[in-house]
Amino acid sequence: MKTLKVIGVSAAILIVVMGGLWVSGLGGQLLFWSFTQMNEPAGEFDPADAVAPPDYELAVNWAALPTKQDPADLVPAGITVSPQGDYPVDVFFIHPTGFLTSGSWTSPMELDSGTEENTEFMMANMASAYNGCCNVYAPRYREANIFAYMGSPERRSQILGFAYQDVKRAFEHYVERDNNGRPFVLASHSQGTHHAMKLLQEVIDPSELRERMVAAYTIGAVLIPLSPDWFASMDHIKPCERSDDLQCVVHWDTMPEGTDPIERDAPSLCTNPLTWQVNEEIAEATENIGAVVPEGTYNMVLGDKPDVRSGDNFTQLDAPAENLVQAQCRDGSLFVPKQESGPFKTMAGLMADSYHGLDYALFYRDIHENAKLRVSTYLNSTSAPGS
C-alpha cells in the first residue's frame, strides 16, 4: 500500500469547519467567526477583481481532454479500458473546490499552484472513474474560494453564480465544438455539483440535450439539497431509481455511522451506490464492487499560506478493494461503517464527522461499472440518437 500524504477534498474541510455552526452556544459561534475572519479573502467579492475568463478554445483551460494526456486517463491496477477518444459517449466532469488560500474570492487559475495540483488530484481520483465508459472532458474554471461557503447565503450565491458562468460557457463550447452529437454523462462533486445542478435546470432540461444525456452523477452536494422542489423545477429530469435508468440524476453524501444526517433546509436525494436505488434498505458490503484509495497529495492549505505545489505526479491508482463497506440511506445521507482500520483509516481520521472526501473513493468501481451499464443501456435503447 502506498504511503498516504496530506489528502482529502476541500468540501470535507468545509464540513469540518462549518461544524462550528452546529456547535451549540456562543463559544462555538465565536470560534467559527474568528476562523473565517482570519482566513477568508479580504473585502467583498467584486467580479472586476477576477482574472480574465478562460478561453475554452485553448487546451490549457481544460483539466482533462480525450486528445491530451492527463490524470483523468488513469485506471486502477488490474482494470483495462479503451484509449481516450475511442468511446461513442462523453462525460462532462465538473471538479469540486481546490482553491483554499485567501488571495481572492475566485481562483486566479495559476497553473503552477497548489490549487491546480488539487484539480489534477480530482482528475486522477474522481473524473477517472468515467474512463471506461466515456471520453473525459473537464474544464478548469474560476472556481469559488472555499470561504465563499462560510459567509452569508447571498454572498455564496453571488460567488458561485460567477463561477457557474465559466462552467456554462465551457459546456456550451463542448456541445458546439467537441461533442458532435454524441450522448454524454454529466458528472461532478461538491462545488462542481452545485454548478451541475444549474446546468441541468437551466440548460439541459429545457433543451434537446436532455435526450442525449445518459445520466447525471451529481455527487456530494452537502448543504445545498437536491430537493423535491428542485426536481419539480424541471419538466423532464427526475431521480434515477434503478441501476439502468436513463436521463436521470443520482446523488449521495457519505457519512460515518454514529453521526447525524446532514442538516439542510429541505430533504435531499440519496441514491445508494451499491444498489442504485432510492430507499433506506441496507446494502451489504458484498455488493461493494470496489473502493480505490486516492492517488497523490491533496494540498489542504487554508488561508494566507502560499498556494504552492507539492510536486506530486499522478501515475497509478491502486487495485480496487472489494466488499469493503455496506451502505444505507437515512434521512437524505448515506451511512457507511466507520473506517477505523484498513486502507482508509488515515483518511477517515481526517474526516471524523463526514466522509465527504470519500464520496468517490469508497464507491469508485461501483461508479465505474454503473456508468458503463447506463451507457450500454442508452446505446441499445430506442432513445439513442439515430435509432
* pLDDT > 90 fraction of the chain, expressed in percent and rounded: 80
pLDDT classification of 15: cutoffs 50, 70, 90: very low
pLDDT classification of 350: cutoffs 50, 70, 90: confident
In this predicted structure, what is the pLDDT of residue 312? Answer: 83
Q: Where are the domains of the chain?
A: 10-40+55-379
- Above 70 in pLDDT, residue 197? yes
- Above 80 in pLDDT, residue 9? no
Is 360 within 8 Å of 127 (Cβ atoms)?
no
Distance CA 104, CA 147 (A): 10
- Above 60 in pLDDT, residue 49? yes
Distance CA 76, CA 377 (A): 24
pLDDT classification of 151: cutoffs 50, 70, 90: confident
At 302-317, the pLDDT tens digits run: 888 899 999 888 999 9
Residue 358: alpha-carbon gap to chain centroid: 10
Mean pLDDT of 46-61: 97
- Above 50 in pLDDT, residue 153? yes
- Above 80 in pLDDT, residue 65? yes
Report pTM.
0.93
At 79-126, the pLDDT tens digits run: 999 999 999 999 999 999 999 999 999 999 999 999 999 999 999 999
